[in-house]
């Protein structure tokens, strides 16, 4: 029975990147490798893993599983039955027709494939269902491991605004940008009242409504 190391939680990962920001790539990788060797992982054992993806990423996961002595299950659409990742796997399951929303994004079909093949865990790869918290929840409800972040981390990192706030709280360097607060533009009536309190150049400098609140400056003064 092989051992698979589950991904560490978001705060622990962020704590690492706090120390590797803006370093050359090889140094960043070295820091990450050093971290991964001392990290207190939660270890779970699997005999068979279903890879809920296709193409290059599925092949890479399967190569690693083979080295670790883990059997693999490939999923595929009806037109991908002869794809490389299908041939590499120990087992394969068709999950629907060619459109991705009816096959690789079809949670019901993939869950059925998991049950039919007896896979103990699912590796989502990237894209498709890898950032779908509902998929991770359904797997957990069936007692099947999701190889990746927990549902909380998926939700937090999937929201770009929330993920930036979490990064800031962890003192990770972030690029200044939209903070998630939508500033409501005032309606025409409010704009008129503002503009009436100023005149000429003073209005443009103090109010700024002619350039920010309306597309046509003259509308403020009609």
Quick one: 194 and 163 in the same domain? no
Decide if 126 is inside a domain: yes
The closest alpha carbon to 165, from 177, 151, 154, belongs to 177
Structural domain including 215 reads 188-220
SS3 11: helix
130 with 215, same domain?
Answer: no
Domain assignment of residue 40, yes or no: yes
Same domain assignment for residues 53 and 123: yes
Asked if 197 and 109 sit in the same domain, the reply is: no
Please check whether residues 156 and 58 belong to one and the same domain: yes
Whether 192 maps to a domain, the answer reads yes
Q: Quick one: 58 and 87 in the same domain?
A: yes
> In the predicted model, what is the mean pLDDT of residues 202-219?
41
Rounded-to-integer distance, Cα 182 and Cα 113, Å: 43
Phi and psi angles of residue 45, each rounded to the nearest 5 degrees, phi first: -110, 135
Encoding tokens for residue 209?
Answer: 């409504």
Task: Say if residue 200 is in the same domain as residue 146.
Answer: no
Mean pLDDT, the chain, rounded, equals 75
- Within a domain: residue 175? no
Tell whether 146 and 196 lie within a shared domain: no
The answer to whether residue 146 sits within a structural domain is yes
Two tokens at 212?
């920010």
pLDDT tens-place string over residues 12-58: 544 544 444 444 444 444 443 443 434 444 565 899 999 999 999 99
Helix %, strand %, coil % for the chain, to 5? 50, 10, 40
Q: For residue 174, tell me if it sits in a domain.
A: no
Please report, for the domain that includes residue 123, its CATH number. Answer: 3.40.50.20
Q: Is residue 194 part of a domain?
A: yes
Which pLDDT value is given to residue 74? Answer: 98
213-222 mean pLDDT = 45
| Structure confidence at residue 186 (pLDDT) | 60
Same domain assignment for residues 40 and 110:
yes
Percentage of the chain lying above the pLDDT 90 cut: 48
Domain count, the chain: 2
Percent of the residues in the chain that have a pLDDT greater than 70, as a whole number: 61
Angle at 162 between CA 28 and CA 4, to 5 degrees: 50
Same domain, 94 and 195: no
Please report the pLDDT score of residue 33 as a whole number. 41
């Amino acid at each position: 029975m092989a051992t698979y190391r589950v991904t560490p939680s978001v705060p622990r990962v962020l704590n690492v990147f706090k120390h590797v920001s803006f370093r050359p790539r090889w140094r960043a990788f070295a820091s990450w490798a050093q971290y991964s060797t001392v990290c207190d992982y939660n270890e779970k054992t699997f005999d068979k893993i279903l890879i809920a993806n296709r193409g290059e990423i599925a092949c890479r996961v399967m190569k690693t599983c083979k080295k670790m002595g883990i059997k693999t299950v490939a999923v595929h659409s009806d037109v991908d039955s002869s794809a490389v990742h299908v041939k590499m796997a120990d087992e394969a399951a068709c999950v629907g027709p060619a459109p991705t929303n009816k096959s690789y994004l079809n949670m019901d079909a993939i869950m059925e494939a998991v049950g039919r093949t007896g896979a103990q865990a699912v590796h989502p790869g990237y894209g498709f269902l890898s950032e779908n918290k509902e998929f991770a929840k359904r797997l957990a409800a069936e007692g099947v491991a999701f190889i990746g972040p927990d549902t909380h981390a998926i939700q937090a990192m999937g929201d770009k605004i929330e993920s930036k706030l979490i990064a800031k709280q962890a003192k990770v360097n972030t690029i200044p940008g939209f903070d998630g607060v939508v500033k409501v533009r005032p309606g025409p009536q409010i704009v008129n009242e503002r503009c009436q309190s100023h005149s000429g150049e003073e209005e443009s400098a103090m109010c700024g409504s002619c350039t920010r609140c309306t597309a046509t400056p003259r509308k403020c003064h009609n």
